[in-house]
Structure 1
Amino acid sequence: MQDYLEAFNNYIAVERGLAPNTLESYGRDLRQYLDYLSEKKGIALKETTQATVGGYLLYLQAKGRAASTISRSLAAIKAFYHFLVREQIIQRDPTINLDAPKQEKKLPRVLSVEKVVELLEQPDLKTPAGIRDRSMLEVLYATGLRVTELVSLKISDVNLEEGYIRCVGKGSKERIVPLGTVAVKYLRFYLEHARKFLASDPAEDTLFLNHHGHGLTRQGFWKIIKKYAEMIGAEDLITPHTLRHSFATHLLENGADLRAVQEMLGHADISTTQIYTHLTKNRLKNVYEKAHPRA
């Protein structure tokens, strides 16, 4: 089984170009599934049936796993069996007719424009780290990037003259996202006055650096945004994705085209972007009910 798993990992990394985080989660989910087969059921991989996989999903459900976790596990298992059939290791895919459990779509938390501005104004612009933080937050709100995309940016991805950044998102798909004038202003300020104090290697091309002079990690950024969230009393409201959600919602509330927002967010399917239209409708309804005398 371990040989099959290694071959599969090579396949999805090279041929499907999946992101490192996806590769890691697929590997973790599949190891748990294979452990279940060998330790709980004593079933060889070639002997599995639809009932076997279905039983595993029920097993996860009984352990209290969320529907989103079970769906992700099934996606990994389906991809694995598809690979095994493709390589003629097994003859039949037992997951063909299996559907993931329906997930309740939770509306993302979104900050008001005023709260976003309050958050953006927290970094201390008298220090290189504070200038970096302000620049990062401005870029995040201006572009709606995922945090992984933000910390992966290179200096060469930024075009301040034209006002855009080049970003590589999920599935190694490249997209161009415009920068607003405010984000351009703080990025230029960071590059001209702060980054040189953080850099330890002149050849380092990563845009946002930590105090060791290396590229920031997702965890490093999370600590930064959590600190500023606490400073404005919003630690329960703000996650690394909050500015992304706020970016999309504020654009749609101000009349932006849904397809344009989809492209900027890097969503493969417009149905993913449509959750923000539900959010804006709910917000408009709340405003109406509070403001209209006969609501």
Structure 2
Amino acid sequence: MVEGPLAPYFEPYAEYLADQGYSQVSYWKKTFLINEFSRWLDREGIAVEEITTAHEEAFLRDRAQHRCLKGGDRITLSGVTAWLREKGVIDGRATASVEISPVDLVLQEYRSYLHDERGLAAATIENYPGYVRRFLTDISGEGELHLASVHASQIADYIRRNAPQDRTFASAKHIVTALRSFFRFARYRDYIHTDLAAAVPSVAGWSMASIPRAMPADCVRVLLNASKEWRAPAGLRNRAILLLLARLGLRAGEVVRLELGDVDWGEGSLSVHGKGRTERPLPLPHDAGQAIAAYLEHGRPESASRRVFLRSRAPFDGLRSSSDVGQIVARAIRRAGIKPGLTGSHQLRHALAVDMLRQGLSLTDIGQMLRHRSPDATRRYAKVDLDALRKVALPWPGTMP
């Protein structure tokens, strides 16, 4: 029996937890915490509609004095209050009493700018503010944020310290790109009065300098053969994901964004939502289609989510980001006993391109299959076509050393 101001909302929230697929043990732990929180609110004289983040923190501190806090208590409590806000019980503006840092205020406006005025993809809106936050925190420290006083030497010093030679060119370039985007936003909103975007230095990098890091073909075969034995729900999901990566060369983000309506079983095709909000149908290979069907029939939990691939533990929502797919691939590689030295999901995309090249397909065909927007993205695979390179290689002048 729940006592206190949360009592009228206990049963609806309990039904919500059951619909999310939580186990009986998790269900009882969460409902027990709700009961304690409701009693604490009653003792403190706090009504439901007055709950803020500060009250959550105060309850957890009080609870820690009487019993040991568990790792999931904070997440459980924030889940309750988030549900109450979603239902309109708590006014979302009630959190305004919690002090928001100047950096957070600027980043909130920057995210809105990226979404509403730039129309960028969700992954970009998620990633750029993270790079900008680290820069703003670095230059402001514990003090006030004064964007108007930022000068070029601070930017150059930050890039010099945070884009060292041990970083890959791509990761260093992401810092530079995000900062230029942010300074264009700051100039547009009149937070700064000089073109600081032009003051962000470029990171040294050379086009076509790297070689695609592809998983060897025999390792791909071992991985896919090992996945045939995975019968648990998570194993069925992971096999379907591996086949989409290896057979169609899908990016991790494209796998995450797949929805049930994207699979056309009658036509045997898959609608892929790629970079730049592009959408393109691809033929669905037989084994990949079988794996998806097996997961949907025997492994996918009941959920209101329209995403094809869901979390294997409650709450059964869709995979959150590309890193989830990367972790699935890394665990699958370890489970199959493969040690190629690489753990990212993109290596399967590279492996498909290299295999197509060795089978005699042209770079144009490979670019169309991988949905590259620029021919340069495909051209670098020519460096792994050793047979073709031997035909155009010049003889070594003089005697071989």
TM-score (norm 2): 0.61
Please name the residue that 2:337 is paired with.
232
2:352 aligned to which of 226, 247, 250? 247
State which drifts further: 229-238 or 24-33: 229-238
Please name the residue that 2:226 is paired with.
122
Give, in angstroms, the shift of residue 62 of structure 1: 6.5
Structure 1 CA distance, aligned partners of 2:170 and 2:340? 24
Which residue identity lines up with residue 347 of structure 2 in the other structure? T
Partner SS, residue 281 of structure 2: strand
Structure 2 CA distance, aligned partners of 1:189 and 1:254? 30
Aligned length: 283
Structure 1 CA distance, aligned partners of 2:292 and 2:164? 49
* Alignment root-mean-square deviation, CA: 3.3
State which drifts further: 160-169 or 261-270: 261-270
Give, in angstroms, the shift of residue 282 of structure 1: 8.1
Partner SS, residue 74 of structure 1: helix
Please name the residue that 2:273 is paired with.
168
Structure 2 CA distance, aligned partners of 1:134 and 1:266? 23
Structure 2 CA distance, aligned partners of 1:185 and 1:228? 19
What are the Cα deviations for residues 2-47 of structure 1, in whole angstroms up to 9, with x where unaligned?
Answer: 3443222211123333334433331121122222332399983223
**Conserved in 1, the CA contact under 8 Å of 2:233 and 2:312?**
no
Counterparts in 2 of 1:244 and 1:77: CA distance versus 1, 3 Å:
same
Q: Which runs of 5 or more structure 2 residues have no equivalent in the other structure?
A: 1-101, 394-401
**Conserved in 2, the CA contact under 8 Å of 1:19 and 1:171?**
yes
Which residue identity lines up with residue 236 of structure 2 in the other structure? I
Aligned 1:254-273 pairs, distance under 5 A: 254-273=359-378
1:9 aligned to which of 108, 111, 127? 111
Partner SS, residue 96 of structure 1: helix
State which drifts further: 209-218 or 160-169: 209-218
Q: Which runs of 5 or more structure 1 residues have no equivalent in the other structure?
A: 289-295
Structure 2 CA distance, aligned partners of 1:108 and 1:95? 31
What are the Cα deviations for residues 241-294 of structure 1, in whole angstroms up to 9, with x where unaligned?
Answer: 121111222223323343443344343333222222223348976xx9xxxxxx
Aligned 1:1-295 pairs, distance under 5 A: 2=103, 3-39=105-141, 44-61=146-163, 67-96=169-198, 98-103=200-205, 105-123=209-227, 124-191=229-296, 193-195=297-299, 198-201=300-303, 203-212=304-313, 213-217=316-320, 218-230=322-334, 231-234=336-339, 236-281=341-386
Counterparts in 2 of 1:95 and 1:204: CA distance versus 1, 3 Å:
closer
Structure 1 CA distance, aligned partners of 2:166 and 2:221? 39
Give, in angstroms, the shift of residue 97 of structure 1: 5.7
Give, in angstroms, the shift of residue 81 of structure 1: 1.4
Which residue identity lines up with residue 13 of structure 1 in the other structure? H
State the identity as a percent: 26
- The structure with the larger Rg is 2
**Conserved in 2, the CA contact under 8 Å of 1:199 and 1:214?**
no
Structure 2 CA distance, aligned partners of 1:49 and 1:270? 38
**Conserved in 2, the CA contact under 8 Å of 1:248 and 1:276?**
yes
TM-score (norm 1): 0.80
- Higher RCO (CA-CA < 8 Å; seq separation 6+): 1
**Conserved in 2, the CA contact under 8 Å of 1:17 and 1:172?**
no
Partner SS, residue 57 of structure 1: helix
